[in-house]
Amino acid sequence: MAVAALTGALTFSARATTIDLTGGPPAQGTINGAIFAATDLQPTGTGIFRPFLRAQQHGNIPGEQGYNTDGGFPFNDKHPHNFQHSIRLASLAEFNISGVEYYKFTLDANQSGRTMHNFSLDQLQIYTSNNGAQTTESFNPDGTVAFDATTHLAYTLNLGGGTTNNVLTTGTGSGKADMFAFIPVTDFVPATYVILYFASGTNLHTTGGFEEWKAATAATAPDGGTTAILLGGALTGLGIVRRYVKR
């Protein structure tokens, strides 16, 4: 399968890493080449945030998982399709951080329960694919999602077989973003669509509302340097430049 063929070329952490962003900006860290940074960007909310993926815990089963697709609502994906849908690789904006180009994804976690306000991102897998309407809920032996043969794994927070990397954020309700994830552009194999799969709740129980993800695209109004400011002192000196790319 194409996914399995590609994973051998990727480099992954040899031991478990936890990035704690619960203290807010400027907390940040790197896992497998991706930068995860705390943010308290406001306001968000679905109407302003314009997510491409929303997922919410169902019933008494702990944790959440899901991926964006036009093919249905797999795992814990939340209706309707105007907030959960395919996104095109060519639409993504690039951000230059210290000479490296990245795509930017933003998480708005909603852990608004009485006591549990932390959100644990325990798996993040990002793929390119020529099929934007996948429906699988199966996994390969290495822990990657069993998408079709047009699909290539670009990034994974954890690869099956022993690592337990995770990112902790404070998700105090919808309306405030909690995390930026910058994924190197060079990780992506050219294709039509980008699929983001995430899972949470393995290390901390998830409660409250839905989690939602947004991608920075060329159609989004320029942020006027907001990204650089919100990343805090650890990254602001690296010179973050937004770049719109047409393919």
Q: How far is Cα 1 from Cα 200, in angstroms, rounded to an integer?
A: 26
Domain extent listing, the chain: 2-243
This prediction's pTM: 0.82
User: How do residues 194-216 score in pLDDT, each as one tens digit?
Assistant: 999 999 875 444 456 778 999 99
What are the tokens at 112?
Answer: 């608004």
Q: Give the H or E element holding residue 230.
A: helix 226-231
Per-residue model confidence (pLDDT) at position 237: 38
CA distance 37 to 235: 9
Element (H, E) at 229: helix 226-231
Rounded Cα–Cα distance for residues 40 and 155 (Å): 25
Q: Is the pLDDT at 164 greater than 70, yes or no?
A: yes
Is pLDDT of 20 > 70? yes
d(CA 153, CA 148): 11
Length of the chain: 247
* Per-residue model confidence as pLDDT tens digits over 42-86: 654 445 668 999 887 765 566 789 999 999 999 877 878 888 899
Q: Could you list the beta-strand ranges (E) of 114-202.
A: 118-129, 152-156, 166-170, 179-184, 193-200
Q: Are 51 and 214 in contact (CB under 8 A)?
A: yes
Distance CA 113, CA 115 (A): 6
Q: Give the pLDDT mean for 79-103.
A: 93
